[in-house]
Structure 1
Amino acid sequence: MKFTLHNTDTQSKARAGTVITDHGVIETPIFMPVGTVASVKGVHQKELKEEINPDIILGNTYHLFLRPKTEILKKAGGLHKFMGWDRNILTDSGGYQVYSLSGNRKIKEEGVKFKSHIDGSMHLFTPENVMEIQRVIGADIIMAFDECTPYPCEYNYAKRSMHMTHRWLDRCINHLAKTPFEYDYEQTFFPIVQGSTYKDLRRQSAEYIANAGAEGNAIGGLSVGEPAEEMYGMTEVVCEILPENKPRYLMGVGTPINILENIALGIDMFDCVMPTRNARNGMLFTAHGTINIKNKKWEDDFSPIDEMGTTFVDHEYSKAYLRHLFAANEYLGKQIATIHNLGFYMWLVREARKHIIAGDFRAWKDIMVKQMDKRL
């Protein structure tokens, strides 16, 4: 992987760069649509490529390990071939999903023993076998196995968890060195900063992760219920330490406003289920605020879904029609809303990139934040 930093905004720490892997160029800042189980929910790959057009999407180790299982992915030749996607893929290591199982898992130094949410079968994730699983899945960027702490989190627990995440990181790195690439392209490894909402722990973790010398770095354990200002505070602390010449990935974030504010702090990569999950519940994100398309006020509004939208659904369908589809519980409504939201997220990060390069990102960001913080 090669990362090139092209521009930094003079009024903030926003960056515009490019990441090059064997599956193509990723222009940053970038939002990665979440394709948890080898599918961005509700969207055909053709629509994903032609309408939403992301440089990279995200898959999840935990879910893919359980279904379709690694032996199927290996027979298929990896996740790219299995799902018909010839661009970049990043896989989360499954740490967050294991964290979210709460009562159905036990965390020890060896790893995490958990019960499958599908059939109740028991499994063990260790730093070593998670690296092997990600080799077989074959994503271009793979993540370290970590523990994601909850919010709120007691200081002593956050400290113990952080140190274990660091020990797990060392085990990941050591095992990767002994595990060859599964396919005819290279993979890049990102470690993950933890430390909950404690600045001293975040600094300590960021220094440890920076010293690991990986080609990119991630920030985990945020967007788990903490106030937005705490998220921004932790991101700022970490970005002061992580090297400038490597991409920075803030995991699981977030709203359009969260994304712009974190771009301003120096983040390059994002992922979140929010645009797809909220779409399925009738919430549309736009440059002028959010729309609850289920509201009666849209019943006879025959204007396009979003006149500023970049996808075909924004102009071919009206708000009234989309509201009708949700009222009738037609799945097409969820698909239209999903394409719209993902298209908007991609527009947002690409517009941010343009303004970083033009040198007026900070002023544009402040205007956008005010506009988007409205209920239409």
Structure 2
Amino acid sequence: MKLKGIKRSNLVLFDPFRSEVLKDLLLQDAEYFELNTRFSESESSLYVSPKSWVSFIWTLLFKTSSVPGFSLKHRVLLAYYSSILSASGASRVVSLYGATNRFFAALSKLHPRVKFDAFVTYQLHDRFLEDIKSSEAHFYVMGEFDKSQLLKVGIAEAKVSVIGSIHFNAFTRSSYFQKSAKQKYDLVLISQYQHFWEENTCTDIRRVAERIFTQMVDYLNTYLSSHEGLKLAVALRPQPTPEATELEKEYFKAHLNGSYSIEYVSNVPGEFTSYQTIMNSTAVVSHYSTIAFEALAVHKPVVFCQFYDYSAKFRIPSDLPFVIREPNYAQFESAISSVLSPKMNGEFDFDALSRRYNSLPGDEGMDELAKKLSR
């Protein structure tokens, strides 16, 4: 554990985990202090200052008791985060992956004079709403579906802005976007492979997801083996080492073992490789992935597979055209054949689906937002 001082800053980035795209797209002209909320054995820091100690004790004794649903341990952690914000002198706090964190929501109540901006980069299903329904933050969401979810739990409409996916917006503003128009693949499979060492921390719902994904991959193998001439791309997960990427490939080679054409696309940080692969493909196959919803913005049909009892936590909305809700190969085969049909783009209102799940506001809107955050 390292002791670190608290930087005075008008802007604090709460939980900077995987926030490079937010920094590059919206915070490039801003000065900010990063409040790391993820502790690990290899890297963790304790932020302290004389002022923060006083604020910590005061907040713990007199303010956190009014926050419902927090254990003593969580009240201590909340008081710690609150003391850092007080010591930093922040007037604005932003977060990407911490946007639906209940600590972020509670901090917005404890610091009413500070502006909180929550950038939500995934679909807001019911499991997230309980923790954020009392939040005072301004929410920036992907589409009208997420907005309706927030309004449903009482978040004021004035506190919700639809801006699309931060990640996808960054991609469309990059040079890689213009290079991605050529069709190279018939289908792209979004990998949700899980390493064996991740089993130790795997939740029950994640185990269901793993079971669904393997069934879906096996169905895809059957389809490709019986429909000649198709080319598949597999958009691999971000991996910490090349060896981990090779393990992921070995999993797919064991399940996708037909004689059809297949290409594995490694996830290269900063090059938007998964997005490029989607742009290069006719259609997308996914169990449940945010990037599959993002694909709707560029009119890519998506087959979602949501078998078994996964939908209790992450239900695919019923207005999406190709959702397989039970392990039935005939339904899977029909859906894949439909999305590969040349008539596909004329059969569905992809503009409406984009507005609902991943709007694209354009460069001007993002530039204005960047200016707002850098003030």
TM range (shorter): 0.3 to 0.5
Look at both structures and tell me which one has the larger radius of gyration over its CA atoms: 2
Larger relative contact order, structure 1 or 2 (CA cutoff 8 Å, min sep 6)? 1
- TM-score w.r.t. the length of structure 1 is 0.33
